[in-house]
Amino acid sequence: MKLIYSLLSLLLLDVLWGVGAAEGSKDVGRLINATMFNEMFKYQKDPQCPSQGFYSYQAFLAAASSFAKLGFATTGKLSTRKREVLAFLAQTSHQTTGGWPTAPDGPFFWGYCHIRETTKDSYCKADSKWPCAKGQKYYGRGPMQLRYNHNYGEAGKMLGLDLLKNPDLVAKDAVVSFKTAIWFWMTPQENKPSCHDVMVGKWRPTEIDKAAKRVPGFGVVTNIINGGEECGHGADTGVADRFGFYERYCNMLGINPGKHLECFFQEPFTRM
């Protein structure tokens, strides 16, 4: 009888440990499964989308796992981890959107439609550390639409790749593509915090930030990514889909998106 009791006790402990492990798992795949991911990007394989399924769930998981130890989708409680992933997917959905107001199911189903920026400018700036390679252009590519030679240089250094000489690798290798987007997400830009730190609650606005109405929330992430063009000039329907995507994704997972979703009245971060 004691043996049976002991075996039942061990079995119960195993079950409880399994539940705890699932709740505390740091695997991005446990936050968003393939079915959910494909529903988010329902029209990625539509004939109107150049990506044609380039941004696969498997590529996203592979890239995300490379940044797990740095905190991407592994920081904080379960709701915080989900909120960060959803914010990342929403911001990159806007960067790559192929939607329009009357699109099937609405514009928030058309993220991850583009791989390359339509206008292929050079985006080459004088930089002694990251000089532009001859014949290469650094227009937007990938989920974050990475631009400029210094970003390709810094991202490449972190990934162990020469993206200055081969920037189009970001448009040809889906794992590399996602990795450059997550690198941008995790990396502070000049005097800006990282998008990651904002979404996991590590960023605390200074008095200067508060005076500029930059407060924690999804809106300041937009300010980090493209505040010079999108923030500080009042309501702008042209960029409202950033938080439109975010609200849709949060609703899908039953997550509260939080406050301060837009940056319409925030002053952009000043360049150093």
- Residue 206 in domain: yes
3-state secondary structure string across 146-211? ECCHHHHHHHHHHHCCCCCCCCCHHHHCHHHHHHHHHHHHHCCCCCCCCHHHHHCCCCCCCHHHHH
In a domain, 164, yes or no: yes
- 149 within a domain of the structure (yes/no): yes
Pair (44, 90) in one structural domain? yes
Residues with Cβ within 8 Å of 67's Cβ and at least 6 positions away in sequence, in order, are 179, 182, 183, 186
Structurally, how many domains does the chain consist of? 2
Tell me whether residue 16 is in a domain. Answer: no
Structure token pair of residue 90: 């929403």
Does 149 lie in the same domain as 68?
no
pLDDT at position 190 is 84
* 3-state SS string for 92-136: HHHHCCCCCCCCCCCHHHCCCCCCECCCCCCCCCCCCCCCCCCCC
**For residue 185, which of 84, 62, 54, 38 has the smallest C-alpha distance?**
84
Q: Does residue 143 fall inside a structural domain? A: yes
Res 106: pLDDT = 94
Q: Which of 201, 192, 97, 199 is nearest to 144 (CA)?
A: 97
Residue 220 lies in a domain: yes
**Residue 178 is assigned to a structural domain of this protein:** no
Same domain, 166 and 208: no
Burial class (CB within 10 angstroms; exposed 0-12, middle 13-18, buried 19+) of 225: buried
Do 229 and 108 belong together in one domain? yes
Q: Identify the domain containing residue 167 by its residue range.
A: 116-172
Backbone angles phi, psi at 209, to 5 degrees: -60, -45
Residue 25, pLDDT score: 44
Same-domain pairing of 122 and 162:
yes
pLDDT at 10: 33
Same domain, 99 and 216: yes
What Å distances lie between residue 143 and 93, 140, 233, 236, 265, CA to CA?
7, 9, 26, 22, 26
- Same domain as 221, residue 125: no
Q: 141 with 152, same domain?
A: yes
Q: Are residues 196 and 87 in the same domain?
A: yes
Question: Do 156 and 193 lie in a common domain?
Answer: no
Single-letter amino acid, residue 29: G
For residue 157, the domain's CATH number is: 3.30.20.10
Could you tell me the end-to-end alpha-carbon distance of the chain, in angstroms, rounded to an integer?
A: 73
Same domain, 104 and 127: no
Q: How confident is the model at residue 20, as a pLDDT?
A: 34
- pLDDT in tens for each of the 272 residues of the chain? 433 333 333 333 333 333 333 333 468 999 999 999 999 999 999 999 999 999 999 999 999 999 999 999 999 999 999 999 999 999 999 999 999 999 999 999 999 999 999 988 999 999 999 999 999 999 999 999 999 999 999 999 999 999 999 999 999 999 999 999 999 999 998 889 999 999 999 999 999 999 999 999 999 999 999 999 999 998 888 788 999 999 999 999 999 999 999 999 999 998 65
In a domain, 14, yes or no: no
Q: Specify the CATH number for the domain of residue 90.
A: 1.10.530.10
What pLDDT, on a 0 to 100 scale, did the predictor assign at position 151? 97
> Both 110 and 202 in a single domain?
yes
